[in-house]
Chains A and B, each alone.
Chain A
């Protein structure tokens, strides 16, 4: 390390405002140059040609192994026919998802707040084997019955659903179950 690399200007910039006089600055600078002289006495041993070749062989082969895996996949996806087929499959999947969502719309009841539910003329709750109809429309159909609901119930997938009206009378005193 020589004073060209560790210049006096750089030294002064590293220790701004620390020295009272130019003389002190120079004295300190020389003491740091001595540190660099010591550092220079610790040379780096050179790698042998064999070591260099071995390091290159290992690192290049290992990196190529990773690359070849990545490139195999990339090259598959870069083929136009594969990309086209992937696009078709993706498009069909999206269309299927959208259409199946429309064919069987989600029942809005659980998602709506109580105020909104109260305004709905008819609400339907579906499970695998039952459908429960209730709301203003059903109440109008059976005005004598309190909290009326019609339940369509199946015992199995292929069976004909049985329709039953549930509700109460006399302020909940009498429970009504009526096979329709």
Chain B
């Protein structure tokens, strides 16, 4: 696999299209962490993220033949990851399989049992942030994640979400406003609870 390390994504894709497994592994390891980050932040459940990541890579390997090198592979991969994660989240939410207790949630529940916990402790804040993120729509969340966590330009996000650039900005604006309002309310409630 090391022989491919210096190769560009495009060269790897050509090798994969010829059935080269080492090239596939190299491309996979080059991008897996970003795909996992996108999936985790959209699906909001770290226990289900590996399933979602696997779906993404299955789609990528199946559809590499259709990929045209004029477009950036990273942009294409981000689009596949985001859309797969959106579908995955909707599917699991509809089926009621969305886990309420994931790694972060369990950690926060354990922390909740400790009476001396401060509302500004890491686990509590993480739980509040996660709940606030769950309350915004998946498209709004995806726009925010892609723009500020993956540094994707707005026109690219518009292509991923198949909407206009103005709509992407509206998604981000509404998401930020909702998060600010929800986090302020939740953290205030925690402060009051803690004060009593």
Contact = CB atoms under 8 A, between A and B. Distances in A.
Interface residues of B, number: 40
Contacts of B46: 44-45
A31 B177 CA distance: 10
A52 interface: yes
Contacts of B61: 59-60, 63-64
Residue of A31, A47, A66 with most partner-chain B CB within 10 A: A47
Q: Is the interface of A mostly helix, strand, loop or mixed?
A: helix
A31 B60 CA distance: 39
B25 interface: yes
Given A59-B57, A63-B58, A38 B33 contact: no
A62 B56 CA distance: 12
Contacts of B60: 59
A15 interface: yes
Contacts of B25: 56, 60
Interface stretch (B4-12, B36-44, B73-81, B93-101): B36-44
Interface string A26-53: 0000011011101101101111000110
Given A32-B180, A67-B19, A38 B36 contact: no
A128 to B, nearest CB: 52
Interface residues of A, number: 31
Given A38-B125, A41-B129, A42-B129, A14 B169 contact: yes
A88 interface: no
B129 A39 contact: yes
Contacts of B176: 14, 32, 35
Nearest to A49: B29
A174 interface: no
